[in-house]
């Protein structure tokens, strides 16, 4: 697999609606997902979406961890989410700072749902339904936007 490069704002791939994955593809994409996680860690990201490395498929990784910008962010194992969806979102919203690996050096205040209920498949094809709040909910919404051709500046206050 050639090394992945992160598409920068202006690359049309970031504006595509990514394609759903078939369960048959999950396992065969395992090497790609490993490379995707590696790329995220290289750039000290707390998430990354497949379209950011020019693969327009509905998959991303969420990897919240405490960091200088979010010292009280929860620690979570990098989690690969396939065909992710929001099934419920709170009316309450919260504004906080976001960055993006595809838009380096720019931060903006973005309004996001405080609480969400989500569903996604794991690499093994198991469906997960769970609730998220706070910074993890924020990352999920940021990554899901990437699958729908949106970037955080589109929502910046
Ligand atoms: O571009 C991406 O999807 C990754 C992005 C995820 C994200 C960061 C902050 C709020 C919501 C979603 C990043 O990881 S940007 C990397 C970075 O600058 C950063 C890292 C930790 C906290 C905040 C920004
Ligand atoms: Zn981003």
Note if 143 is an active site residue. Answer: yes
Gap between the Cα atoms of 90 and 4, Å rounded:
36
Tell me if 101 CB under 6 Å of ligand 1. yes
Residue ranges near ligand 2 (ion) with Cβ within 5 Å: 100
Average pLDDT over the chain, rounded to an integer: 96
- Rounded Cα distance, 144 and 134, in Å: 16
Extended beta strands in 8-157, E state: 47-49, 59-62, 79-89, 93-98, 108-113, 115-121, 127-133
Closest ligand (CA of 78): 1
Model-level pTM? Answer: 0.97
3-state helix, strand, coil in the chain (%, to 5): 30, 30, 40
| ipTM value greater than 0.90 | yes
Nearest residue to 4 (alpha-carbon basis) of 42, 58, 30 = 42
pLDDT of residue 2: 66
Degrees, nearest 5: CA angle 75-141-128: 70
pLDDT in tens, 92-106: 999 999 999 999 999
């Amino acid at each position: 697999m050639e090394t992945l490069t992160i598409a920068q704002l202006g690359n049309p791939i970031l504006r595509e609606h990514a394609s759903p994955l078939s369960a048959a593809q999950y396992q065969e994409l395992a090497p790609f997902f490993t490379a995707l996680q590696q790329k995220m860690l290289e750039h000290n990201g707390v998430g990354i979406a497949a379209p950011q490395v020019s693969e327009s498929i509905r998959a991303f990784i969420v990897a919240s961890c405490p960091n200088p910008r979010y010292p009280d962010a929860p620690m979570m194992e990098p989690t690969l989410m396939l065909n992710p969806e929001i099934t419920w979102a709170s009316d309450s919203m919260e504004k906080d700072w976001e960055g993006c690996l595809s838009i380096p050096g720019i931060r903006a205040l973005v309004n996001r749902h405080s609480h969400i209920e989500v569903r996604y498949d794991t690499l093994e094809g198991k469906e997960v339904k769970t609730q998220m709040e706070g910074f993890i909910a924020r990352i999920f919404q940021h990554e899901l936007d990437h699958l729908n051709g949106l970037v955080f500046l589109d929502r910046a206050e």
